[in-house]
Structure 1
Amino acid sequence: MNDKDYYAILGVDKDASAKDIQKAFQQKARKLHPDVNKEPDAEERFKEVSEAYAVLSDEQKRARYDAMRSGNPFGAAGSPSAGGYPGGYQGGYGGFGGFGFPFGGMGGVGGFGAQRRRGASAYNPSTGADVVVEVKLSREQARDGAKVAVKYPRYEACDNCRGSGSVASEHHRACPTCGGTGSIAVDLGMFGMGQARMVCPECGGSGKVVADPCPVCGGEGRTRVQAEAVVEFPAGTHDGDLIRMKARGNAGTNGGETGDLVGRAHVAAERLEGRAQSGFYLLGMVVPFLVLSAFSGTFSMFLMLCIIPLVMGVFMIATDDVLHRSALWWKRGLRVLANGATNGLFFALIVVWFSSCTQAIFLAPFRYM
C-alpha cells in the first residue's frame, strides 16, 4: 500500500476539486522549484509535490489511490461488477494496472499525463477553430439567393489585453514550474521504476506562461460572446453548400489567428434524411430479390416474402411530403436506392441460387413418373 498522503503533500482536502488541486500544485511548485528554492531538500520536495499532482489530477488514478487508502486495492475500475479485472487492467499497453502498477496511465511517449492540458496562465498561441452554423433556407431562397442574419456563440479577442492575454508590454516568460522545458520529472522510485516525464500542468507543454495575466480573460486572450453576422447565399444554392466568412469564427489564444464562420445551407426540400432515406434503401434491398427470382422461376415465392418490406419502403417515401421535394431530393433518393441494391444483390444471389437448387432436388423424383 502507498503510505504517502498526497492530499497532505499538496495541502488540500480529500474532497478538493480538480481546480483546487491544480492551484495548490502551482503554488507549491513555484516555491519549491530548484531554480528558485536553494534549500537542500527543495528538489526532493518538488518531486514529491509533482508525484502527488500526477496522481490526484487524474480522475482514474485518484480513484484508485483513494480505494487503496481505504483498504480496497482494486478500486471501482477493477471490481467484477464494473466489468474490469483485478488491478484495473483495461487491455493493451495503455495502463499497467493489471500488472500491479496502482495508478496506470503510463501510455504514450510522454509518460504520466501525456495529454496536453492548458494551465490558467499558459502562453500558447494557437489558431481559433471555425464556427459552423446551419442556416435554413426555403426552396425560393435557395433558388433566388438570400441574406440571412444568424446569431452564434464565439470567442473574440479580449478588449482589455487586446488578445495577448497579458496587460503588460511583455507578453510571456519562461514557465517557473518546468523552467521552459514544457515537462517535469516525476519520481517513481517507490514503484521501482525510476523517473517519468509529465507535461507541465502550468504551461501545458509550451514552456511559457503569461507574464501578467489579464484579469478579464485569465491570460487566454479571448472571451466568450454572442455574435451576429449576415450570411449571403448566392442564387442557385443547394442543400449542404458552404459559405465561408474569413476571421468571423473563434479568436485564437494569446493573439493567434481567428478562425472562419462557415454557413451551411439547410434546404429542407432537397435534404434526404430520416424515414425517406430508410425507405429508399429498403426498396433497393428488395429489388435484386424480385429481379433475380423472376429470371429463376421463383418469383411468386419471393414476392410473398418481399411484399411487406416493399410496401413499407413505398409508404416511408410517400409520407415524406414528396409533392414538395425538388429534383435533387429524388436524385439523392435514387443514389441511396442504388446503394441498397448493391448491398442486396450479393444476398439475393445466394438466396435465389439456394432456392433453385432446393426446388430442383425436390422435383427430381417426379420427372420420371
Structure 2
Amino acid sequence: MASMNEKDYYAILGVDKDASTDEIRKAFQSKARKLHPDVNKAPDAEEQFKAVSEAYAVLSDPDKRRRYDAMRSGSAFSTPGSYQGGPTQGDPFSSSPFGWGFPFSDMGYARRSERRSRSYNPRAGADVSFQVDMDDETARKGTRRGVTYQRYAPCEACEGRGSVRAEHAETCPTCHGTGRIGVDLSGIFGLGVMEMECPECEGTGKVVSDPCDVCGGSGRVLTATELVVDIPAGSHDGDVVRVKGMGNAGTNGREAGDFVCRVGVPSERLTRQQTSGFRLVGFGLPFALLGAFTGTLSSMAVFLVIVLGLGLYFAFAGGIRHSSRWWRNALASLGNGAVEGVILALFMAMMFSCTAGRASFGGPGYGYVSG
C-alpha cells in the first residue's frame, strides 16, 4: 500500500491545491456518486471509491490536510523503482574474471532510499533468493561464487531505527492510535460513517516522530551488497546454501532475512515431458496388476498399451543415459503416478466385486421358498 505522502489527493479528487473545503466536499460527492460499488459495476470501481474516500478524509480535515501538505512538500514524491527481492535474469557471473555478478544496471539507483513513510511498522526482512546453475563436474567438486546483488540494508544514519533523534515511536496524530479513519457518507448515500485504514500510519497506530532524511523513516535503504558463497562439494539440483542475515533488512530495527542461494544442476532435472511420462507409466502399472489378478488383462490391453506406450515415449524421448540423481527423480515421479493409479484401481476393484456379488445374489438358483 502506498503511504500517505506518496498519493496526490488533490489529483485524485480533481481539485486545485488551494481548493476550499466546500470545493473538496463537492468534488468528493460527485466522484463518490459515480464510483460507489452499488452504482458502478466496473472491476476497479471499489478501489477508486476507497481512494477518493481516503483523499476526502484527509483533505476535508484542516489538521490532517496541513500535515499532508507538509509531508508532501518534504518528500517531493521521490521513490525508487520496483524491487523484486532478488537479482534480474541473465548470467550473473559474466561481469568480471573473479565471477562477481552485477544483476542490475543502475548502480546510482541502488544508493537511493526506499519510499518515504512515517508509518512505524517493524517487520522482519524478507529473504533474497539467487539461483546458481552449474554442470555435474562443478557440483561434484564444489565451488565459490561471488555475487553482487540488490537488497535493503540497515540505514547507517539512524542505525536502522527510522529516526535519528527520537528513541520511540509516537501515536499517529491522524487516527489517534486506532489505525483507522472515518469518512462521513451520510450526506451522499445515507450510509453513515465508513471506516478505512489510516494512510499516515498504514494501520499501525504509530508513526516515526522525526523520519530519518536518508531512509525516510523505514530504517533501511536499497543498496548493492557483495557476497562470496561457498557451494559445498557433492551438491545437487535443488540444494540450498543459506547465509544468515544477508537478505533484506527489517523495517524499524527488526531482524534481516537470509541470502538463499539455490543450486541448479540442469542435467539432474526431469523436463516437464519426462515427468509426465514417468507419472503415466506409474499410473498404468497398478491397472496391469489388477488385470492380471482378476483375469481381465486382455480387456485392459488397449488402455494399457496407450498409457504405458505414451509414458515410456515421453520419459525416454531424450535418451536413457542419465545421472543417478536423474533416475532418483524419475522414480519419485513414477511413484507419484503409481499412488494415483492404485487409488483408482482399488476403487475399480471394489466396484467389480460389488457388481459380481449382486449378479451372484440375483442370478439363477436363487429363489424364495414359502413355508
Whether these two folds match at TM > 0.5 is yes
Aligned pairs for 1:300-339 within 5 A: 300-326=298-324, 328-339=325-336
**Pair 316,228 (structure 1): closer, same or farther in 2 beyond 3 Å:** farther
AA partner of residue 305 (structure 1): F
The aligned residue for residue 347 of structure 1 is 344
| C-alpha distance after superposition, 1:119-164 (max 9, x if no partner) | 8221222221111222223222332222222343311123444433
Aligned residue among 34, 43, 48 for 1:66 = 34
CA distance in 2, matches of 1:253, 1:350: 54
The aligned residue for residue 179 of structure 2 is 182
Q: Secondary structure at the match of 1:202?
A: coil
Q: Secondary structure at the match of 1:323?
A: coil
Aligned pairs for 1:1-369 within 5 A: 19-21=7-9, 65-67=33-35, 73-77=39-43, 120-166=117-163, 168-170=164-166, 172-190=169-187, 194-195=192-193, 197-326=195-324, 328-349=325-346, 351=348
Give the CA deviation at 1:198: 3.2
Give the CA deviation at 1:103: 6.6
**Pair 199,21 (structure 1): closer, same or farther in 2 beyond 3 Å:** same
**Pair 132,234 (structure 1): closer, same or farther in 2 beyond 3 Å:** same
CA distance in 1, matches of 2:11, 2:36: 25
CA distance in 2, matches of 1:201, 1:130: 27
**Pair 24,218 (structure 1): closer, same or farther in 2 beyond 3 Å:** farther
After TM superposition, the score normalised by the length of structure 1 is: 0.62
Give the CA deviation at 1:281: 0.5
CA distance in 1, matches of 2:201, 2:116: 5
Q: Secondary structure at the match of 2:281?
A: helix
CA contact (8 A) 1:119 1:204 kept: no
CA distance in 2, matches of 1:354, 1:181: 61
AA partner of residue 207 (structure 1): G
CA contact (8 A) 2:182 2:195 kept: yes
CA distance in 1, matches of 2:266, 2:130: 16
Give the CA deviation at 1:246: 1.4
CA distance in 2, matches of 1:23, 1:174: 28
Q: Note the residue ranges of structure 1 that are not aligned, 5 or more in a row.
A: 1-16, 26-44, 57-61, 79-87, 89-94, 96-101, 106-117, 362-369
CA distance in 1, matches of 2:42, 2:221: 38
Give the CA deviation at 1:280: 0.9
After TM superposition, the score normalised by the length of structure 2 is: 0.62
AA partner of residue 271 (structure 1): R
Give the CA deviation at 1:233: 2.1
CA contact (8 A) 2:116 2:217 kept: no
| C-alpha distance after superposition, 1:301-355 (max 9, x if no partner) | 32222222212211222134542322x3222322221221221123335557878
Q: Secondary structure at the match of 1:135?
A: strand
**Pair 153,320 (structure 1): closer, same or farther in 2 beyond 3 Å:** farther
**Pair 23,131 (structure 1): closer, same or farther in 2 beyond 3 Å:** farther
**Pair 222,119 (structure 1): closer, same or farther in 2 beyond 3 Å:** closer
**Pair 74,183 (structure 1): closer, same or farther in 2 beyond 3 Å:** closer
CA distance in 1, matches of 2:9, 2:154: 29
CA distance in 1, matches of 2:11, 2:157: 24
CA contact (8 A) 2:116 2:216 kept: no
**Pair 344,301 (structure 1): closer, same or farther in 2 beyond 3 Å:** same
The aligned residue for residue 99 of structure 1 is none
* C-alpha RMSD of the superposition: 4.3
Greater shift, 277-286 or 225-234, is seen at 225-234
CA distance in 2, matches of 1:281, 1:346: 14
CA distance in 1, matches of 2:137, 2:274: 22
CA distance in 1, matches of 2:208, 2:195: 23
Task: State the aligned residue count.
Answer: 281
CA distance in 2, matches of 1:209, 1:321: 62
**Pair 202,299 (structure 1): closer, same or farther in 2 beyond 3 Å:** same
Identity among equivalent positions (%) equals 42
| C-alpha distance after superposition, 1:19-55 (max 9, x if no partner) | 2129999xxxxxxxxxxxxxxxxxxx8xx98xx6xx9
Greater shift, 154-163 or 188-197, is seen at 188-197
CA distance in 2, matches of 1:66, 1:224: 40
